[in-house]
Amino acid sequence: MTAHIVVLSNVKDADKLQEYGAAAAATISSFGGTLEKGALSILCGNDSHERLAVLQFPDIDTAKNWYNSEEYQALVPLREQGMESVFMLIEPD
């Protein structure tokens, strides 16, 4: 079953975020994942995040393996410089 990771974020450093994004995209595709991203428009309620990304992977295990992979974890310091973020894995009921 397809798995999704939702990322809410605010930009801290646009140059670092661009560098992180390019490197992270390569790790996502190497795990068979895809990425959709863009500006966030709140339709109902309140939230302070500016951007949204949805990552799709073939299954939950692959999503977890991507996030915990050595390749992706090496990018976390760059991610932290480029944006503040919340990563959420959607697990089906």
Is the pTM higher than 0.75? The answer reads yes
pLDDT at 61: 97
13-64 per-position pLDDT tens digit: 999 999 999 999 999 999 999 999 999 999 999 999 999 999 999 999 999 9
pLDDT at 93: 78
Structural domain boundaries enclosing 40: 3-90
- What is the domain count for the chain? 1
pLDDT at 91: 86
| Ordered DSSP codes for 9-74 | EEES-HHHHHHHHHHHHHHHHHTT-EEEEEE---SSS-----EEEEEEESSHHHHHHHHHSHHHHT
pLDDT surpassing 90 at residue 7: yes
Domain CATH for 46: 3.30.70.100
